[in-house]
Structures are given as C-alpha cells and as structure tokens.
C-alpha cells in the first residue's frame, strides 16, 4: 500500500499499521480501518486513491449536520438541506452519518450555563447568530473542562451515537457468503480526525487490548499531521470560545480516558455494554479486526 501523502486529505492513516508499529507487534489486521480529517477538500486524485488504492467501501462521518452544511456552502453547493447530508460524496462509497454532538450532549452543555448565559444563548440562536451562541457554550461549558472533559462528556451523553457507531462497525456476513465484506474497509472521520475520531479509535483499540502506549502514539500522530491547517483551525477554535489547546493533542489524554473508563464502568467492554453494544458484537470485532493473540 502506497504511503505517499494525499494532495489535500489530512491526518489519513491505516489504524492497524499505526498501532502495530507503535506496539512493536501485530495487534490489528491492516487494510480494514482508516482514520482521517474531513475528506471534503480531497482532490480528484485523492478520491480515486481512496476508492481504487485503499478500497474504501464505507465512510463514517461523525460531524454535525451544521458542519457538513458549512462545508457544502464552502464548496459552492446549493443543494437543499436534505441533499447536503453528503454533498461532497465520492461515488462508489457508502456514507453513514453519526452526530457525536447530538441533542443529549447539547442539553447537557446547556445545563451548565447560568440563567443569564442561557437567555443570551437562546436570543442569539433565535436571531440566527449561531456562531456567537456556540461561543457562549464553548467559553462556559466546554473550555473549563479541556479536551479530556470533552471526551468524557461525549462518553457520558452520546451513548446512542457510540452504539450506532459500533453497530456500523459490526458487519458479519452470512456463513454461506463467499464474497468480501461489503462494509469494509471503513474510513472514520470528523473535522480534524483528532477528537471525535480519536475517541472512537481509542474505544476500538482498547477493545482489541492494544497497549496504551501504542494508542497514545496513534492519537499524538494527529499533532504533526494537522500542522498544515493549524492557523486556520486556531481561528475557528477561538471563534468558538475555546482556548488554543483545543487545536492540539493533549498529553496523557489516552491514559486518563482509559483510567476514567476503568473507574466508572470497569473497562471499555462494560462501558460499551452500558450503551447497548452487545457482547457478541465486541467478540466479532475482536475476531474480525484483531490479529489472534496479538493484543494479549
């Protein structure tokens, strides 16, 4: 598989190749699961590579509808809201959207605002000043807790989204089916492929018993991969009322999240069970994506 960089697709990597390299042993089967930043800006050549070289069959997009719509408008799409779920889709690839910042998550953030902040937020939202409204949430409900708090809030309040993700990842074939799995290889992305994508990959790698050092190294790889758009991202983050640290990878993030899962739920599989992921799905994922014995 070519390791040449894409023209305009950031933070792309084969999760297995990354974690196996950092672990120094085979943990996961290569060629099945990839991660990246948004592919909206990908050049025609990049898109062809995703289909023909990497064989991507499914893209799982963890962004909000607003984020996707903003990208559509950036690229000049004039489609209706119904048509902008995937306005920049790549022919031959199935798209699946899962909003990791859905209603339950948003309600939890709003509950952290004071009465005055809530009134201001609702007023701005009513007058369609979404950017200023979001900045209130950013400054008051997200920034104080850092990237770790962002992740634990997602785990706490976005259980339905995480269940939906693992339902998509669980793709067994009938025993009599001779053809390759029509769902895999899968590419998971959000905006930068760092936070929501990083959380998704962390859960899966913990399920595969990958060492924390390897998971942390894969997460930290996003720091260098995203440098080309750092200034643009810093401007976006500041506009959202967030500190510059949110544009970077947080030291100790992986280890702290793993500890949080252990203390709150007794481990990743117990957490996944609490949001509705069945044991059989976990076992299938370990068998289908993992290298037998590699994570032990």
Cβ atoms of 214 and 27 within 8 Å: the answer is yes
* Cα dihedral across residues 90, 94, 100, 101: positive or negative: positive
13-289: which CATH number, 3.40.190.10, 2.40.50.140, 3.90.190.10, 3.30.70.270? 3.90.190.10
CB atoms within 10 A of CB 14: 20
Q: For position 68, what pLDDT does the model report?
A: 81
- Give 109-113 contacts, CB < 8 A, sequence gap 24+: 109/137, 109/141, 109/142, 109/153, 110/137, 110/141, 112/140, 112/141, 113/137, 113/140, 113/141
DSSP 4: P
Residue extents of the structural domains in the chain? 13-289
Report the alpha-carbon distance of residue 192 to residue 233 in Å, rounded: 9
Three-state secondary-structure class, residue 61: strand
Q: For position 101, what pLDDT does the model report?
A: 87
Q: For position 190, what pLDDT does the model report?
A: 95
Return the structure tokens found at 289: 């994506």
- Nearby residues of 115 by Cβ (< 8 Å), 6 or more positions away: none
Q: What is the pLDDT along the chain (296 residues), one digit of tens a residue?
A: 666 789 999 999 999 999 999 999 999 999 999 999 999 989 999 999 999 999 999 999 999 887 887 777 776 654 434 344 455 788 889 999 999 988 899 899 999 999 999 999 999 988 889 889 999 999 999 999 999 999 999 999 999 999 999 999 998 876 556 567 889 999 999 999 999 999 999 999 999 999 999 999 999 999 999 999 999 999 999 999 999 999 999 999 999 999 999 999 999 999 999 999 999 999 999 999 998 655 54
Report the alpha-carbon distance of residue 173 to residue 183 in Å, rounded: 10
Q: For position 296, what pLDDT does the model report?
A: 46
Cα dist from 188 to 39, 46, 139, 245, whole Å? 10, 16, 28, 23
**DSSP labels for 189-240?**
E-SSSSSHHHHHHHHHHHHTT--HHHHHHHHHHHHHHTGGGHHHHHHHHHHT
Q: For position 76, what pLDDT does the model report?
A: 65
Length, in residues, of the chain: 296
């Amino acid at each position: 598989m070519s390791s040449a960089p894409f023209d305009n697709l950031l933070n792309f990597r084969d999760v297995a190749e990354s974690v196996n390299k950092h672990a120094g042993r085979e943990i996961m089967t290569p060629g099945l699961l990839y991660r990246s930043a948004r592919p909206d800006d990908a050049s025609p050549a990049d898109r062809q590579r995703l289909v023909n070289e990497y064989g991507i069959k499914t893209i799982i997009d963890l962004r909000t509808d607003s984020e996707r719509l903003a990208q559509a408008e950036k690229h000049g799409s004039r489609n209706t809201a119904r048509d902008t779920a995937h306005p920049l889709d790549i022919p031959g690839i199935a798209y699946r959207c899962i909003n990791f910042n859905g209603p339950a998550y948003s309600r939890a953030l709003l509950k952290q605002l004071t009465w005055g902040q809530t009134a201001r937020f609702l007023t701005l939202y009513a007058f369609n000043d979404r950017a200023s409204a979001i900045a209130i949430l950013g400054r008051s409900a997200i920034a104080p807790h850092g990237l770790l708090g962002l992740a634990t809030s997602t785990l706490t309040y976005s259980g339905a989204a995480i269940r939906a993700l693992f339902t998509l990842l669980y793709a067994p074939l009938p025993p009599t089916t001779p053809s390759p799995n029509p769902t895999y290889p899968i590419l998971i992305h959000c905006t930068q492929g760092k936070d929501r994508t990083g959380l998704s990959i962390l859960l899966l790698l913990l399920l595969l018993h990958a060492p924390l050092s390897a998971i942390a190294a894969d997460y930290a790889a996003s720091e260098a991969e995203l440098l080309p758009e750092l200034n643009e991202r810093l401007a976006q983050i500041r506009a959202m009322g967030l500190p510059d640290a949110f544009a970077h990878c947080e030291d100790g993030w992986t280890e702290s999240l793993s500890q949080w899962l252990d203390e709150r739920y007794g481990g990743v599989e117990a957490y996944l069970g609490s949001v509705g992921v069945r044991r059989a799905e976990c076992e299938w994922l370990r068998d289908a994506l993992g290298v037998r014995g590699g994570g032990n």
